[in-house]
Amino acid sequence: MTLTDTHAEQIASLLNERNQLTRKYTRESVLEHADNYICRFSEENNVVACVEVKSVQWYQSEVLHLTVAASQTRKGHAKALLCEAERVARSKGARLLQCTIRDGNTESRTLFEGFGFSHVNTFNNPSSGNNVAVFQKVLSNAR
């Protein structure tokens, strides 16, 4: 699906509202990477959940800022987006899928671990002061 200006604005607002990010998203920054976004929509065609899936290396994709509107939590949006993100990463040839999760975000950690992601390391983000956990899931096991 091609993102409209309105959808890009809704994604930016959702990302800024629901995450502790060190940079603010704008309609323009979302549209710059529009092909990377997967969204879930309300009956009124408004964005209620989104995720960005970005190719990092030929073998690696990253899941960025899986976000669900506060009014839409516990309705299966996060699980559906993560399933679709993995499908997209596999279709692009990714062998490894990665994400980062801010310490204390138990809900996200539980979701990703439930999908087979493993905690591999933690670093400190000096811009936010947060410790950030790195999670990875192997999509193509060694033989």
- From residue 125, alpha-carbon distances to 21, 106, 135 in Å are 11, 18, 16
The pLDDT tens digits of the residues spanning 25-70 come to: 999 999 999 999 999 999 999 999 999 999 999 999 999 999 999 9
Could you state, in order of their start, the residue ranges of all structural domains in the chain? Answer: 5-138
CATH superfamily of domain region 5-138: Gcn5-related N-acetyltransferase (GNAT) (3.40.630.30)
Give which of 95, 13, 79, 23 is closest to 46, Cα–Cα: 13
Report d(CA 114, CA 55) in Å as an integer: 23
Q: What is the pTM of this model?
A: 0.94
